[in-house]
Amino acid sequence: MSFEEARKQLSSGRRMSPREYQFLSSFVDGGICVDIGAWMGFSTRAIVSSFKREGIVLAIDPHSLDCAGKHRAAVEKLGLSSTRPFLEANLAEWEIASRVVVIEGRSQDIGRELDLRVDLLVVDGSHRYADVVEDIEVWVPKVRGYALFHDYQHIPGATKAVDELMMPHYKLVGKQGWLVAFECKGEVALSFDEYLKALNRVVMSTKRTAFHTQEAARQAEIASVQALLVSYHALRGLEPCKLD
């Protein structure tokens, strides 16, 4: 099987329904969006194509052979140890690569490392109860906007975690199919001091600046991710993205 045939096969399953993508799109504004369980990029594309202002998607997935399921053999036969090249080929074909930072790893680990305030969170990664609990603990406090969870009332682990940790504390703002949306106002978000420290840590890796006011921090948040994106694209030999 060729790479292109395998890409087609991998891209044909494991998706949300058209109505669910439409529902997801209705929560998109712009800013920093996090797509947990990006797989072949369909949820990522739904976000990017609905941006109303500057925005980027951090597309997180382990891309491991263990997560490839029934496609494992096809991926291995091509001599690949990761499904990431298929995602990257899809993003390139859809001409949205400049709006996406592909992050390979478990969302639970990435969330602990990357302290950015998030405008939109989509959780459709591991559906094991313990992993969804961890995603909620690690990511939801960063969200000032909306957090969406897929496979609610479909997969028991996701359902239990959402029932226990989201339903009692956050405002449910909609449901379509197995996708539920909550409004998150950052009530349990990092304090401003912690946020500044976290933001400065991220920015340090790209350029040395310190922020002293909330407005400066907000502005810098986009700038820092933009800088991250520029270096990411330079590393991968892609066209630099433009968020202005």
Q: Are strands 179-185 and 143-149 parallel, antiparallel or unpaired?
A: antiparallel
Among 27, 33, 43, 158, binds ligand SAM (CB under 6 A): 43
Per CB under 6 A, 67 contacts ligand SAM: yes
Distance CA 155, CA 149 (A): 11
In this complex, which beta carbon is closest to ligand SAM, that of residue 128 or of residue 218?
Answer: 128
For residue 3, how many C-alpha atoms fall within 13 Å in the half-sphere facing its CB? 11
Per CB under 6 A, 143 contacts ligand SAM: no
Among 8, 14, 154, 242, binds ligand SAM (CB under 6 A): 14
Minimum distance from residue 56 beta carbon to ligand SAM (Å): 17
Distances (CA, A) of 75 to 18, 36, 44, 125, 209: 27, 21, 22, 20, 43
In this complex, which beta carbon is closest to ligand SAM, that of residue 15 or of residue 72?
Answer: 15
Structure tokens at 200: 């400065």
Minimum distance from residue 4 beta carbon to ligand SAM (Å): 19
Per CB under 6 A, 16 contacts ligand SAM: yes
Per CB under 6 A, 88 contacts ligand SAM: no
Distance CA 101, CA 29 (A): 18
Contact region for ligand SAM (CB under 6 A) — 9-17, 167-175, 210-218, 222-230? 9-17
Among 31, 32, 37, 211, binds ligand SAM (CB under 6 A): 37
Per CB under 6 A, 60 contacts ligand SAM: yes
Minimum distance from residue 101 beta carbon to ligand SAM (Å): 14
Per CB under 6 A, 90 contacts ligand SAM: no
Q: Where are the beta strands (DSSP E) in the chain?
A: 31-36, 55-61, 100-104, 118-123, 143-149, 171-176, 179-185
Contact region for ligand SAM (CB under 6 A) — 33-41, 50-58, 73-81, 91-99? 33-41
Distance CA 181, CA 189 (A): 18
Distances (CA, A) of 161 to 41, 114, 118, 185: 24, 22, 20, 20
Contacts (CB under 6 A) with ligand SAM, residues 178-237:
none
Contacts 24+ apart (CB under 8 A), 194-201: 195/115, 195/117, 198/115, 198/116, 199/115, 199/116, 199/224, 201/115
Contact region for ligand SAM (CB under 6 A) — 122-130, 141-149, 194-202, 218-226? 122-130
